[in-house]
Amino acid sequence: MRSYRTGAVGATLAVVALIATACGSGGGAKASSSTTASGAAKPAVIVGGANFSEATLLAYVYGDALKTAGFPVSFKTAIGPRETVQPALQAGQINFEAEYAGNLLAYFNPNAAAMSAAATAAALQPYLAKKGLEEGTVSRAADSDAIAVNSQTEAKYHLTSLAQLAPVAGQLTFGGPAECRTRITCIPGMAKDYGIHFKSFTELDSGGPITIAALHSNQIQVARLFSSDPSIAKYNFTVLADPKNFQDAGNIVPEFSKSVATAQLVTVVNQVSATLTTADLIAMNSQISNAQTSPQSVAQQYVSAHHLG
């Protein structure tokens, strides 16, 4: 019994040691690469992403550009909402993610006021530095969270803006992901800035096929979608204007660990940010959802067409 126990403990220790060395050597490689002045050594990049289609698409756009530039790149997409992805990034389980500037700032500081993309990026900097992270250039391409109503609701109440929603919200059901309950950019923000209180909240996916189907079939009347979603045009949904700017700047910003931030990586990443436009996003999203193409292949085409990396 005793020897068996010792054996088991020994084996466990050996496994732990193996894992530790594996991690250690990875970290070592990263550390040595960042000390190389020219950035000739290329650290292994693990690109992660949140659990909706555009996040996967962006992961592949940035990741493929890095791969083209010669970086060893692996992908961990559709991890979960920001509340799951950010801890993974801070823990080093992933070391690169394409984020949305405003929502990311709201994650770090729920009381941050909504502001321009550049100001948001500047405000983000100290929060990232504290966690050993860096950001690349903010892209012009933007995709904000959008509150949309279906055509029946628009026809009935003639809604164009969130400011008109408060008096009728008591008759409407709102649908969105679970995080809507607590995020300042969703239900709490609408209540605070516009006095909107819906009849009920139905917990669905994050602006995905379930939410779209429910809004289209009028099972919910209002939904949290993404502004670059091609189904908004396809199903004639109306995105409500946000005169009080309760939604943040939805500009895309690359976020990565200091350990992989070589000069070359930053150059490649900023080149991608500079190339991307909102129109590109809508076009690619539409290819994915209407033409049933995979985010991987859409991203690959984009990267090679624009000579990124």
Partner 1 sequence: MVHFLSGVATFFSTWSNWTGSNGIFHRLAQHVEISAISVAVALVVALPLAMWLGHTGRGGFAAISVANIGRALPSFAVLVVGAAWLGIGQKPALLALILLSIPPIVTNTYTGIAQVDADQKDAARGMGMTGWQVLRQVEIPSAIPLIFAGIRTATVQCVATATLAAYVGYGTLGQFINEGLANSLNGHVELFCGALLVVVLALVAEVGLAGVQRACTPRGLRLHGRVAPAFAEDALVVPAVQ
For binding to partner 1 (CB under 8 A), which residues are involved? Answer: 80-84, 86-87, 107, 175, 177-179, 181-182, 202-205, 208-210, 213-214, 217, 219-220
The continuous run of DSSP H or E covering 201 comes out as strand 200-203
CA torsion 149→151→152→158, rounded to 10°? 70
Q: What is the DSSP string of 141-178?
A: -B--EEEEE-HHHHHHH---BGGGTTTTGGG-EEEE-G
β-strands 73-76, 45-48 pairing: parallel
Minimum Å gap between C-beta 42 and partner 1 is: 32
Nearer to partner 1, 234 or 307 (CB): 234
Beta bridge partners of 257: 133
What is the 8-class DSSP label of residue 102?
H
Nearer to partner 1, 160 or 182 (CB): 182
Residue length of the chain: 309
Minimum Å gap between C-beta 6 and partner 1 is: 26
Minimum Å gap between C-beta 210 and partner 1 is: 5
Nearer to partner 1, 87 or 132 (CB): 87
Minimum Å gap between C-beta 248 and partner 1 is: 17
Nearer to partner 1, 56 or 271 (CB): 56
Radius of gyration, CA atoms only, the chain: 22
Minimum Å gap between C-beta 181 and partner 1 is: 7
Nearer to partner 1, 245 or 290 (CB): 290
Minimum Å gap between C-beta 213 and partner 1 is: 5
β-strands 173-176, 200-203 pairing: parallel
Nearer to partner 1, 45 or 149 (CB): 149
Question: 133 near 256, Cβ under 8 Å?
Answer: yes
Minimum Å gap between C-beta 182 and partner 1 is: 6
Nearer to partner 1, 17 or 83 (CB): 83
Beta bridge partners of 285: none
Distance CA 99, CA 108 (A): 13
Which candidate, 167, 166, 172, places its Cα nearest to that of 152? Answer: 172
